[in-house]
C-alpha cells in the first residue's frame, strides 16, 4: 500500500506558506505516494487547488479526514492540539517544530504516540544541505529584510547623478553574516548601497568581501561548533560593542541577524547606540522572534525611538510565500528520500544520522533530550 501524505492549510495566524507545492506533489505521486491537500492550502502562497489536482493530488475539505487518514503529515508550522487529535498512533509529522516554544504541542504529540520530526534539528552536515529549511528560509528572510529597510529609509539606496545634483548612496550595515546576513548584504549591494558586514566569525569575512561589501575586522575568533558562533567573553563583548557602535552610528540602515540556537538572541545594539544614529535611520531586527538584537526592538511592531525607526518583523519568510514555499517543499522532498523505502512505504528504522538528530517524538516518548528536560521541568 502506498504511503498517504497529507498537506493541511497552515492554521498559525499570519502563516502564508504551504509545505508542498504542485511541482513536488507531482514528483511524489510519480514515485507512488498518494497526496491529499486541504482545500485552499496553497492559495495564500499563490498555488490554487487546480494546480494540485493537475499534479495528481486529491483535494480534501474535511480536516478530520485529512489528518486521520494520513500516514505522514507535512506542515510548515507545528501541528496544533486540534490537528494532532485525529492522527492515529505512528503517524509521521514533519515540520518546523520550534520545540522549546511549543512544549504543549510536543507533549500532545508524545501522548498521541505520533512520530514527529523537527526540521530545525537537522544536523549541519553536507548530506543534509538539500534538506536544510533553516538556510532556505533564512535566504528569504535576508532578502526581505533589505526590502523592509529600503522601504522605511527616507533615502535612495544607490548613488544617483541627476539634474538636481548627485545623490550619495545610503550606507547599510549588516550584523551577522550567516545565510540571512549574506543574502541581506547581496540584496543591498544589488540596490546600489554602500554595505558593511560584521560577524564574530573571522571566516565570514571572505564571504562578505566576495559580495562586494566591507568586512568590519575585530581580532576575535568566535567560531563555534556546527558552524555557529560561540558566545563572547565579557572583554570580547566590550571590544565588539565599541566597533559596532561606531559603525551603527554611521549607518542609514542596520540589519541584525545574530542568533544562538535555542537561546535568547544576543543584544548587539544598545539604546545609547540607537541614540547616536542619524535621524531617519532604520533598524531591521531579524532576531525579533527570539527577543531581538536591539534592546529597543518590540517583536511584531515598528517603533520610532530617538528618531530611529526600529522594525521587529516576525515570520519574515511568510512575507514572500511563493518562493519560500517552493524552497521549503524542495527541502521536504529531499528529507522524504530518507523516510520512504524503495517500495514507497515509511521506514521504521531511524538510525540514519539525519533522522536520528531530527527525531522529536516517537513511541510515546520525547526523543530530543533538551526538549524532554524542558517538558519534565514543566511537569507536562
Residues taking part in catalysis: 124, 129, 132, 135, 228
Cell output for 284: 531591521
Q: Quick count: other Cβ atoms within 10 Å of Cβ 220?
A: 17
- Distance (Å, whole) CA 274 – CA 285: 13
- Asked if 109 contacts 99 with a C-beta cutoff of 8 angstroms, the reply is no
Alpha carbon distances (Å) from 203 to 119, 209, 222:
26, 11, 10
- Distance (Å, whole) CA 210 – CA 305: 34
Cβ-Cβ contacts under 8 Å for 187 (sequence gap 6 or more): 142, 143, 146, 147
C-alpha R_g of the chain? 22
- Distance (Å, whole) CA 244 – CA 218: 10
Cβ-Cβ contacts under 8 Å for 59 (sequence gap 6 or more): 36, 37, 38, 39, 49, 52, 53
DSSP assignment string, 253-283: EEEE----TTSPPPP-B-HHHHHTSPTT-EE
- Asked if 209 contacts 186 with a C-beta cutoff of 8 angstroms, the reply is no
- Distance (Å, whole) CA 255 – CA 332: 29
Nearest to 241, CA basis, from 212, 262, 271, 214: 271
- State in Å, rounded, how far the first CA of the chain is from the last one: 36
Question: What DSSP designation does 223 have?
Answer: B
Q: Which residue has the cell 529600503?
A: 150
Bridge partners (DSSP) of residue 240 are none
- The H or E element that residue 372 is part of is helix 369-378
Bridge partners (DSSP) of residue 309 are 282, 304
In degrees, rounded to 5, the angle at the alpha carbon of residue 244 between the alpha carbons of residues 243 and 250 is: 100
Amino acid at each position: 500500500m502506498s504511503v498517504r501524505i497529507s498537506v493541511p492549510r497552515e492554521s498559525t495566524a499570519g502563516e502564508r506558506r504551504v509545505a508542498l507545492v504542485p511541482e513536488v506533489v507531482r514528483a511524489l505521486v510519480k514515485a507512488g505516494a498518494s497526496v491529499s491537500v486541504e482545500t485552499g492550502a496553497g492559495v495564500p502562497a499563490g498555488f490554487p487547488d487546480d494546480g494540485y489536482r493537475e499534479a495528481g493530488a486529491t483535494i480534501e475539505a474535511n480536516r478530520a479526514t485529512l489528518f486521520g487518514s494520513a500516514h505522514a503529515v507535512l506542515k510548515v508550522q507545528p501541528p496544533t492540539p486540534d490537528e494532532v487529535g485525529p492522527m492515529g498512533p505512528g503517524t509521521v509529522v514533519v515540520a518546523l517544530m520550534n520545540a522549546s516554544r511549543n512544549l504543549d504541542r510536543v507533549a500532545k504529540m508524545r501522548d498521541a504516540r505520533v512520530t514527529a520530526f523537527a526540521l530545525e534539528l537537522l544536523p549541519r552536515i553536507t548530506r543534509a544541505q538539500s534538506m536544510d529549511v533553516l538556510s532556505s528560509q533564512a535566504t528569504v528572510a535576508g532578502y526581505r529584510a533589505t526590502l523592509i529597510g529600503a522601504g522605511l529609509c527616507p533615502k535612495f539606496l544607490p548613488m544617483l547623478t541627476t539634474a538636481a545634483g548627485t545623490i550619495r548612496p545610503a550606507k547599510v550595515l549588516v550584523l551577522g553574516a550567516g545565510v540571512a546576513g549574506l543574502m541581506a548584504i547581496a540584496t543591498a549591494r544589488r540596490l546600489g548601497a554602500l554595505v558593511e558586514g560584521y560577524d564574530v566569525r573571522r571566516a565570514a569575512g571572505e564571504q562578505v568581501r566576495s559580495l562586494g561589501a566591507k568586512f568590519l575586522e575585530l581580532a576575535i575568533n568566535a567560531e563555534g561548533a556546527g558552524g555557529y558562533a560561540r558566545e563572547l567573553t565579557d572583554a570580547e563583548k566590550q571590544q565588539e560593542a565599541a566597533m559596532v557602535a561606531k559603525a551603527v552610528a554611521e549607518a542609514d540602515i542596520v540589519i541584525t541577524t545574530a542568533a544562538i540556537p535555542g537561546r535568547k538572541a544576543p543584544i548587539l545594539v544598545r539604546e545609547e547606540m540607537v541614540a547616536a544614529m542619524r535621524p531617519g535611520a532604520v533598524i531591521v531586527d531579524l532576531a525579533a522572534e527570539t527577543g531581538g538584537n536591539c534592546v529597543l526592538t518590540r517583536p511584531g511592531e515598528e517603533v520610532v525611538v530617538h528618531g530611529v525607526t526600529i522594525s521587529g518583523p516576525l515570520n519574515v519568510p511568510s512575507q514572500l510565500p511563493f518562493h519560500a514555499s517552493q524552497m521549503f517543499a524542495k527541502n521536504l522532498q529531499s528529507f522524504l528520500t530518507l523516510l520512504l523505502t524503495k517500495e514507497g512505504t515509511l521506514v521504521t528504522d531511524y538510525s540514519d544520522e539525519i533522522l536520528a538528530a531530527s527525531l522529536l517524538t516517537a513511541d510515546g516518548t520525547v526523543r530530543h533530550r533538551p526538549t524532554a528536560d524542558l517538558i519534565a521541568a514543566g511537569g507536562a
